[in-house]
Structure formats: C-alpha cells, structure tokens
Homo-oligomer: A and B are copies of this chain.
C-alpha cells in the first residue's frame, strides 16, 4: 500500500522563500544606474510592495498585476532617491521593472523542489501573476508542476481567498495543501483557512540587518532548514 502522504500539494511563497529578490533586484538596479545604492534602492522598492497591494485586498481598487504595482512603486522609489527615470530609455526602465521576473533561486530551492516533485504537486502560491512566475521559473530553474498566479485568483495574499481559490483550482481541500514560506504572517493566513504549513528561515532575505522572520513564531506543521530539508522531512513522514 502507498504510504500516507501528509498532503497532495506543496506550494511555495516565491519572493524571499523560493528566490532571492534582494540580490537580483539590486543587481538590476546597479546595471541601470550608478546614481543610487543598489541594495538600498532594492529594499526601498520592496518596502512599497505590501502597502501597494492593500487597496486591492480591501476591494478599493480593481485587481492589477505586479508589473503594474512594481512600476508604480519603482517610480515612487526613484523620486525618493532623486533618480529621474525620464532621462532613461523607456525600454531600459521596463527592463528594470521586470527584474522581478529574473530572480535567482536560493541554492536549495531547485534540488528540494526536484525531490518534492516525485511525491507531491509543487507550485508557487505567490502574489506574482502567471507570466511573471513563468518567466521566474524559467530563469531560476524552478521545476513547478503548475503555476496558479494571482491573475487567476484575482487577489493578493494574505487575503484568505488567495489560498482558498488556489486550493479550489487544484480541486483539493485546504488540508491537503501545504504552504511553505519564510514569512510567519503568510503561514498564519494559510493556516487560518485550513492549509498545512511549513516554515523555512531565510535570514538574509532583507540583508544582514534583518530582524523579522528569523525564526518561526507560530505553530507550524513542519519547521525545516530549507527546501531540501522539507523534502526529507515529508518523505520521512510518509514512510513512518
């Protein structure tokens, strides 16, 4: 008889959990201009991310994808840093904005996903839209089985519908789906709607000064060192 699996699908937060956005975005910034500190600019750009989604989660703004929000946030960040985007070739600005499509995986992500894929459906559960996540997967070598972008669920985490609609698209009950994330708040929202949860730390996501999400702060089903360790623990669960 087939060993009992804890879940049928293991889905991942992407920005920060599967890929290292800070290094990738800072590199794109440094290629675009020498007028700003690339790391500081990347952190400030990302800093506008959560606030920019709030009106959409609240139903005050119609859904727009992350290319739109990243572009608005890029323009605001450039203004904050005194960088005049109007001096640049529009296609270079667009290329910079799409840095979020070209991020690299943390070293354990692809080996861990490759292992998990043998037993589970693996996919992102991200605020990225399908095109962004597809380009990211091609660039980073993330071997997802399926990509259900925010343009399908039409909302942003941690809105409960972001999780519930994803499970519904997979035709799985929430308790048969696990979210793996490096962010306790994301896991808390997933757990609230009945998902299984796995925390992995990404202590340098925001750089050496990172203070949040260094450790699990909730009761999650699995605490893993990284994606490879998650695969090992889920395999041991199945054979226990």
Contact = CB atoms under 8 A, between A and B. Distances in A.
Interface of A: 67, 121, 130-131, 133-134, 137-138, 143-149, 151-152, 169-172
A146 B145 contact: no
Nearest to A152: B152
Contacts of A143: 143
Nearest to A137: B145
A130 B148 contact: yes
A173 to B, nearest CB: 12
26 contacts: A67-B171, A121-B134, A121-B138, A130-B146, A130-B148, A130-B169, A130-B170, A131-B169, A131-B170, A133-B146, A134-B145, A134-B146, A134-B170, A137-B145, A137-B146, A138-B145, A143-B143, A144-B145, A144-B146, A145-B147, A146-B146, A146-B147, A147-B147, A149-B169, A151-B169, A152-B152
Residue from A144, A146, A148 with most neighbouring chain B CB atoms (10 Å): A146
Contacts of A170: 130-131, 134
How many copies of the chain does the oligomer comprise? 2
Contacts of A133: 146
Which among A131, A133, A171, A172 has the highest number of chain B CB atoms within 10 Å? A171
Given A131-B170, A131-B171, A144-B145, 7 more contacts: A67-B171, A121-B134, A130-B146, A134-B145, A145-B147, A146-B146, A147-B147
Nearest to A151: B169
Contacts of A134: 121, 145-146, 170
A101 to B, nearest CB: 10
A71 to B, nearest CB: 14
A116 to B, nearest CB: 12
A131 B149 CA distance: 14
A3 to B, nearest CB: 17
A21 to B, nearest CB: 20
Nearest to A117: B138
A58 to B, nearest CB: 25
Contacts of A152: 152
A42 to B, nearest CB: 23
Nearest to A131: B171
